[in-house]
Each structure stands twice: as structure tokens, then as C-alpha cells.
């Protein structure tokens, strides 16, 4: 789910080109950090995942990707607790929601990313 009110705020504050650039930079950063989380998952580095997940959650919320922000936050919590059962369940949810959320950004009217 995209918080279009948050995107509207960015457009009002930064202007069209500034907002597009800002959102595109955040999407790239989120994508890179999600790839890092996947690598850390494969390495079993749960403590690193918890830290990285907080950053991704904040970046996602900043550009209105509320569902992604919530799921990544949940992933970080389960990683921080070392709860591998919850972590794997949330991981599967993240894969589905992450792809969908990032794809939705490209469909937002006014963004020509």
C-alpha cells in the first residue's frame, strides 16, 4: 500500500523533479538494502538484518510505502529475537510485498521514474 498523502507532501515540498529524484533515490537504496538483507539472511547474520531492517523500514515509510515499512520492521523484530520460525514466515511475506510495493511506485501518477 502506498500512502499517497505522503507522496503529495514530497511533491509539494520538493517540486516535481525534486520529488521524483528523491523517490527514485530511496527506491534504489531500498532495493540495494533488501539485496543486502537477503545476503545477510543466507549468511545467518541476524543481528545485521535487524539493524538493516530498521533503516529500510524508515526509508520505506519516508516515501509512503507503508506495507513494506511494516513488513520490514517485523522482519527486523523477528531477527533481533532470533526467532527463525517467525523470521522465515515474515521473509516470505517480505518477498511478496517488497516486489509489489516497489512496482507500485512506478505506477503512481506524476512519477516518471
Cross-strand pairs, 65: 2
What is the C-alpha to C-alpha distance for residues 29 and 105, in angstroms, rounded to an integer?
14
According to the model, what pLDDT value does residue 100 have?
A: 80
Q: Would you kindly state where each structural domain of the chain is located, as residue ranges?
A: 4-106
Mean pLDDT of 9-25: 92
According to the model, what pLDDT value does residue 108 have?
A: 62
According to the model, what pLDDT value does residue 106 have?
A: 65
Alpha-carbon Rg for the chain, nearest whole angstrom, is: 14
Does the structure show a pLDDT above 60 at 111? no
Tens digit of each residue's pLDDT (9 = 90 or more) over 20-76: 999 989 999 999 999 999 999 899 888 899 999 999 999 999 999 999 999 999 999
What is the C-alpha to C-alpha distance for residues 99 and 86, in angstroms, rounded to an integer?
20
Tell me how far CA of residue 44 lies from CA of 37, 38, 56, 72, in angstroms.
Answer: 10, 10, 19, 17
Query: Are 94 and 71 contacting, i.e. CB atoms less than 8 angstroms apart?
Result: yes
Amino acid at each position: 500500500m502506498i500512502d499517497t498523502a505522503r507522496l503529495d507532501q514530497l511533491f509539494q515540498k520538493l517540486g516535481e523533479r525534486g520529488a521524483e529524484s528523491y523517490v527514485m533515490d530511496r527506491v534504489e537504496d531500498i532495493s540495494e538494502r533488501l539485496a543486502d538483507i537477503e545476503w545477510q539472511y543466507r549468511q545467518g547474520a541476524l543481528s545485521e538484518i535487524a539493524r538493516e531492517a530498521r533503516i529500510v523500514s524508515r526509508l520505506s515509510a519516508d516515501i509512503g510505502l507503508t506495507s513494506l515499512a511494516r513488513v520490514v520492521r517485523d522482519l527486523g523484530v523477528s531477527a533481533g529475537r532470533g526467532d527463525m520460525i517467525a523470521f522465515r514466515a515474515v521473509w516470505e511475506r517480505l518477498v511478496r510485498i517488497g516486489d509489489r510495493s516497489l512496482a507500485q511506485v512506478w505506477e503512481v501518477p506524476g512519477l516518471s521514474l
